[in-house]
Chains A and B, each alone.
Chain A
């Protein structure tokens, strides 16, 4: 309203001073996106995508490093808000920006290796990824609900295009359409919730909302609670928690696998960042109202994800449900709502982003090598790939076991840290339920891993049953012949190799040398 009045009165508009160094990652991402589009206009070079990918990778690396630099600043000088108090620069936002940069890096490398083989070439995918990631970064640092909404829209609109990037296929079209319709619906939910919250608190600024709610008690808070639920729904859609998860399997299956990895990592992180900040910070005083809701949502998310993952037959659908199970764990951190548990959620998100982008990368590699189109790689097709592509299979095996929570990986520590917060808050039953969901999901990961190393042959039973030396020797002789037939010369593109290597190195490296990341996540405080 102020703005309209100022414009009408003819007085000069007061723009807030902008500290560009604090929003440099966003600026660089947008700049690189625009630059790549300009370059193709000037050069007309579409077939060689290395340059565009290189530009995007450079932007991602710069974004990550600069965000780390910002986080060091925050550690030294404390958190602060910029751009007229609408963006926060705090440990929380910088943590997420690093996470986003890592996700973008892996996505672009994987896309370079595979996406352009099934879709048209050019700089658009790089530009869209960077723009979508910019939206994600805005959501992660938004200190104002409106800015949060703008971030959400920037992220979503780019993503709608990314999901439909391989338009020639029917599954892909269906999933793109589904995601678009439901995504628009979720945005509307969020916006409506925003309006209700603004109506009852008088501000869209998170700091003002928090201050207002801690000073005043509303005589009737129905409107506020309705607004809160709508915001939960809008963001819950993006992070795919029950009951807003129905789109996930279809969209994950139909989208290009590089995009699926991006959605399960970067997009989920952005959604959770917003959820954590809005609920844990702005609505902190109302936690008695939202905690029971989150409790039910978290339990359902854990169990639905784990149980439905086990009964799927398509590889990407399975991973979609397992991502829902992971979302349940992240939600548990918010449910407990202590400083430590928020840090644990962040750690989990980082772990999950790293593991899942690598997993989807490996899946897209296998799908490509097997000549499968998007969304048609079934779990049965994974049988025997351990012999065909030993390196990729080993990578996938490590990442799946890490997702299952195998010791000495980042996945175990993530589950462990979230559970420790849950137990510390005396929610023993929920901790046990969460562990049961881990057991169910673990069966799935183990089964998939096992099937990769099960021979393809029908008469595999012969040498299983027999340990008789003669018979076994015969079986070996036969198998050697089969080996030469089965062995495929699988060349892993350099970009994909880099992405997978990064993912596995972080999964195992931070599992063994755990302290730095644990401490980084636990120090990622919110601006108050």
Chain B
């Protein structure tokens, strides 16, 4: 069989690395075209992979494994299941758009090279099935992001990059120690040294050890997501990144955190995930409210999106820790949805910025009459983000709240407030930017054809997923079922199924 997953990881990785050794004399557009065509090739491979993906299979598909460092029990293993499938699709959709929408003119060769390396690291993180490989890929995302942010970011990009790097790397420090501890606990009880996720999933350990490891893993993922109170790097990072990187940060890399929770916390420490779920749930719900309220008071649009992201990631975590099939499936779906509309929002912000050189709502006004196309697309994206029925944001949030309400009623009740608040801050910002009368009556160009072309795929996805969510859910559900049944004692699993059925 064609090695789809290997190509998905290695194509951008090798291309990105080779690009560094290219001469840098060529005009910028050549590098951009090269980067764009490579990421589009990646998209094609991923779409074929999506079509080959067997619906109704819970476990990993298209698996491959290669013994890499046998003395450490490390293999290079790849596989895709319903949980990672759409996150991979999300990544390969957003990268070409980010590269196409980028306006970076300085040192375009390195910019494209770093973007490709970042794509390989993101896709790789979702596809590997070995904890060591995951850690490698998870770490590898930091280096390109750091350079993209510091080198091509706004004036405070350097500081934001260091903050981002230190924060997430500190989380990784706990993750690495946790991974090693888990591996050695597993080795002590079975005599087998391995980093394979499926082998480690059935490790026998004391409940204290389980809880500590759960916390060590979770810190890394909560920082990456980010979830309150580990979010303080994100407003700076989102607002100081170049738009292309902000798209990846908010669209793809944030999902690494929630993906990690689902894949590792739930599969490796099912008991601890249930017994400490209340803690993470509380943080998530606080984040939903806090993010929404702060977003309402934020006048810088990028920072507003950062805080709204905090609120929305809180929803996803709420869905995960609801521990019901519908909540979990909703969370996985919402990871995809959030990536799509966040990316679209950042693209639109970049387009506004390139025309006005500011993203401050107090300095923007009256864009609707001058740029009706932009206003129209912005409206669709914004409504998706608010969660209006018929668009993709609604399905995910609805399933999450439904799932959470069944098992964790009061958290869900508080969480619902986030939906209302998100309508407030989004509409408010929209009103200020698009509907107010502009006192200075400055000109404002509407979207160019190229810019519309960048946005249309995302709008299609927003509407398409909103109308036909079952196309995704059919593929997500079996894997989610499997995670949940393995993470749940038999008796209570039956009862939770019963509740969902009602």
Contacts and interface: CB of A to CB of B under 8 A. Distances in A.
Given A406-B143, A407-B137, A428-B181, A417 B72 contact: yes
B131 to A, nearest CB: 12
B105 A432 contact: no
B92 to A, nearest CB: 21
Contacts of B370: none
B146 interface: yes
Interface in A385-407: 390, 394, 401, 406-407
Residue of B146, B155, B177, B350 most packed against chain A (CB within 10 A): B177
Contacts, number: 119
Interface stretch (B162-170, B253-261, B319-327, B426-434): B162-170
Given A407-B136, A453-B107, A475-B106, A432 B180 contact: no
A134 to B, nearest CB: 32
A222 B280 CA distance: 53
A431 B173 CA distance: 9
Contacts of A439: 166, 169-170, 173
Interface residues of B, number: 52
A356 B137 CA distance: 25
Contacts of B69: 413, 514-515, 518
A436 B72 contact: no
A75 interface: no
Contact of B105 (A406, A419, A475): A475
A467 B155 contact: no
Interface string A192-224: 000000000000000000000000000000000
Contact of B155 (A394, A461, A475, A514): A461
B127 to A, nearest CB: 15
Contacts of A417: 72
A423 interface: yes
Contacts of A479: 106
Interface string B166-200: 10011011101100110110000000000000000
Contacts of B444: none
A461 B137 CA distance: 32
A390 B24 contact: yes
Contacts of A413: 69
A420 B180 contact: yes
Contacts of A428: 177, 181
B150 interface: yes
A442 B169 contact: yes
Contacts of A447: 162
The size class of the interface chain A forms with chain B is 35 or more
Interface string A491-523: 000000000000000000000001100110010
A454 B173 contact: no
Given A464-B153, A465-B154, A407 B354 contact: no
Interface string A417-434: 101100110001001100
Nearest to B132: A416
Contacts of B174: 432, 435
A44 interface: no
B105 A473 contact: yes
Interface string B122-155: 0000000000100011011001001100111111
B447 to A, nearest CB: 14
Nearest to A408: B136
Contacts of A424: 180, 184
B410 interface: no
Contacts of B183: 420
Given A428-B181, A431-B177, A394 B20 contact: yes
A463 B105 contact: yes
A412 interface: yes
A469 B354 contact: yes
A285 interface: no
A472 interface: yes
Given A417-B72, A424-B180, A515-B70, A435 B173 contact: yes
Contact of A476 (B20, B28, B172, B176): B28
Contacts of B110: 453
A454 B151 CA distance: 7
A490 interface: no
Contact of B71 (A401, A438, A454, A515): A515
A438 B166 CA distance: 10
A488 to B, nearest CB: 15
Nearest to B13: A408
B68 interface: yes
Interface string B63-87: 0000011111000000000000000
B103 interface: yes
A418 to B, nearest CB: 11
B491 interface: no
A466 interface: yes
B177 to A, nearest CB: 5
B165 A446 contact: yes
Nearest to B169: A439
B9 to A, nearest CB: 12
B396 interface: no
Nearest to B108: A476
A406 B137 CA distance: 10
A423 B157 CA distance: 36
Residue of A413, A435, A469 most packed against chain B (CB within 10 A): A435
Contacts of A465: 154-155, 357
B139 to A, nearest CB: 5
B353 interface: yes
B393 interface: no
B340 interface: no
Nearest to A461: B155
A407 B117 CA distance: 12
A464 B155 contact: yes
Interface string A277-319: 0000000000000000000000000000000000000000000
Contacts of A408: 136, 140
Contacts of A412: 136, 139
Interface in A434-450: 435-436, 438-439, 442-443, 446-447, 449-450
B103 A407 contact: no
Contacts of B103: 467, 469, 472
A519 B68 CA distance: 12
Contact of A443 (B105, B157, B166): B166
A519 B154 contact: no
Contact of B162 (A431, A443, A463): A443
Interface in A471-487: 472-473, 475-476, 479
Given A407-B140, A436-B170, A475-B105, A446 B177 contact: no
A56 B296 CA distance: 71
Contacts of A47: none
A468 interface: yes
Given A439-B170, A515-B71, 10 more contacts: A406-B139, A406-B143, A443-B165, A446-B162, A450-B150, A450-B158, A453-B151, A464-B153, A468-B355, A479-B106
A-B pairs, top 9 by smallest CB distance, nearest first, are A435-B173, A423-B180, A407-B136, A472-B105, A467-B103, A431-B177, A407-B140, A439-B169, A424-B184
27 contacts: A390-B24, A401-B143, A406-B140, A407-B136, A407-B140, A408-B140, A417-B72, A420-B180, A423-B177, A423-B181, A432-B174, A438-B169, A442-B165, A450-B151, A453-B147, A461-B155, A463-B106, A466-B357, A467-B242, A467-B350, A467-B354, A472-B103, A476-B106, A515-B71, A518-B71, A518-B72, A522-B71
